[in-house]
Structure 1
């Protein structure tokens, strides 16, 4: 069995395929919006340290395994902020904060990286005093990591402050932090933060792939069971054509996400890495919004009710589509990186 298959199988412990979404519903619009016990379980299973080297306490797997796990999390709408935890782990490992990294990898802490200073960007300027925006699940953070540009490099500081919370469509929330700079944890190696943000963007694309797969599977079940004029509506040619179009979008997204993961694992140049990530994130965001909207419509009137689960996939897609860069940002970045590679 390959490591990717093992990762997918391990995901069933927390997010079994086809399970009901009662846990997800129970956590919507609550604080912290996820289950700390499940977060600790993710740590115990090694997921938070998936990209951390073995000698630093992680399991040292590649992006292929990471996107496989992220896809499974997206498919079951898991609310725990795994991508944000893996991002923080990369920075703590890079700056040499062994104690902070150990607590995070065990699931005993959740330091969120306060990197974003402007909307719709994948660049971290590292300004010392600027408010940090769009921190997912900030109410559940045990603390914050603050990248600050100093002496031509990037230092990592602990940060304090109480974030201002705004709820999101999917029942989660974002926080805005006006940080109080704390102890310096170390210096980040050159380019580490950029690479970690690219990896987070690609993992988010994989989550979007999982979201559209979950919505599509639910829609196929509905088409097979809902009857009209004495036959399943899935036998109607018009709906079959629409379903095939959505299946094609999912297949193209999978190809793009997996190709980007292979590119990163092969040690691509900076421009090639960025182009691959942006191609995958743009396609995943656009396709997920299309597939989940179509899934709601193909369910008819019941699909528009909040009580019916298919709408949860659309809400999740609306939030994830803009995390770590919107489709338009990634389209522009892909064009710029592709031109630079020529």
Structure 2
């Protein structure tokens, strides 16, 4: 049954969103901004351990986790606001993945994940690929596309029977095949050859957790767009041609307006879907809304970041130009938690089944 908020509850949420945005923006600024992002490119773990400790100390890993499990117990509206601010600063730390795992774990593992004592990353959760099989407490098979896998202390792995197992990163029979990405991060294929598991869990709540992570990714993409848009506006105000700032040229103004429209449409779709999740709308409707927001955020982010590079002229295509970091980040995120084509197909299938 859907929830209807009172005006007092709406005001409280708006205040929480404001505080979360301020806190996240301060964290991005405190830890060096784009200079730090450049220094982390192609590093071993692809993330900053000191920054991760600050993120966990602030309770952000457990933002959506219930209070009785050690989390803060806030909703999706607050969560997408957080992800948007982190996207604006291109923060590489795996908060999306860690938050997804924190929702699915319980007991000591959940507490350790939220506190930052261990970093457990998801492997194969929400994937449509063939998953590894569990036989006599040992895992066989492989899982692809695990982001920042070298930074993990353990993995929460989805198996072919719909359950989840916890695997330590140093376990025997586990090997990583690492691939570097355009933004300097990495993903890995995990190969299991009789790898022992430390715990088995039922896959309850997996669908809802993946939906939340997918919408969180869409919000992160909105933040990336906003960061690229802001940088481009600043550039148009200082770059001169023919004795005038190029931002005064009408043709460029029209293109900026188009970018702004795509940005705001994506943001509004993400926020509206977050509101639907918090108000507990039916699962099928939420699935359609999540896929719609994800497709819009992905396509808009690709368009806005490409336009931003073009407006910077030739310098925008060089590695030294910070504007290129935004497009590279978008390109590495497009297939996480399902590609654009997969979400289009899911939306079509849901509409068809409803009809």
8 Å Cα contact 1:126-1:154 kept in structure 2: no
**Post-superposition shift, 1:221?**
0.4
Per the alignment, residue 13 of structure 1 pairs with 26
One of 156, 162, 167 as aligned partner of 1:158: 167
Residues 199, 122 of structure 1: alpha-carbon distance in 2 compared, 3 angstrom cutoff: farther
RMSD, aligned α-carbons: 1.8
1:273 aligns with 2:286: yes
Deviation readout 1:60-86 (Å, 9 max, x if unpaired): 011111111111111100010110100
Distance 2:160 2:328 in 1: 35
Q: Residue 156 of structure 2 corresponds to which residue in structure 1?
A: 145
Q: 292-301 or 331-340: which moved more? A: 331-340
CA pair 334-196 structure 1, distance change in 2 beyond 3 A: same
Aligned partner of 1:250 in structure 2 is 263
SS in 1 for 2:74: coil
How many pairs does the alignment contain? 330
- SS of 1:157's equivalent? strand
**Contact 1:148-1:157 within 8 A present in 2 as well:** no
State the TM-score, normalized to the length of structure 2: 0.89
Q: Does 2:187 match 1:187?
A: no
Contact 1:208-1:321 at 8 Å conserved across structures: no
Aligned to 2:147: 136
Kept after mapping to 2: 8 A contact 1:145/1:156: yes
Q: Alpha-carbon deviations, 1:237-285, whole Å to 9, x = none?
A: 0000000000000011011111111111121222111101100110111
- 2:6 aligned partner: none
1:113 to 116, 122, 131: 122
On the 8 A contact 1:64/1:258 being kept in 2, the answer is: yes
Alignment gaps of 5+ in structure 1: none
CA distance in 2, matches of 1:175, 1:18: 27
Q: Please, which of 224, 241, 252 is the counterpart of residue 211 of structure 1?
A: 224
Q: Distance in 1 between matches of 2:259 and 2:29?
A: 23
Alpha-carbon distance in structure 1 between the residues aligned to 2:47 and 2:165? 26
Q: 1:255, 1:199 → 2: CA distance?
A: 16
Select 1:104's aligned residue among 109, 113, 127: 113
**Shift in Å, 1:216:** 0.5
The residue number in structure 2 matching 1:51 is 64
Residues 295-328 of structure 1 show CA distances to partners (whole Å, capped at 9, x for unaligned) of 0000000100100100000000101121111111
C-alpha distance in structure 1 between counterparts of 2:60 and 2:242, whole Å = 49
The aligned residue for residue 313 of structure 1 is 326
With 136-145 and 331-340 compared, the bigger mean Cα shift is at 331-340
TM value normalised by structure 1: 0.92
Give 1:102 shift. 1.2
Please name the residue that 1:228 is paired with.
241
Task: Give distance in 2, aligned partners of 1:85 and 1:18.
Answer: 20
For 1:134, what is the secondary structure of its paired residue?
A: strand
Q: What's the CA shift for 1:126?
A: 4.8
The more displaced of 160-169 and 279-288 is 160-169
The alpha carbon displacement at 1:196 in A equals 1.1
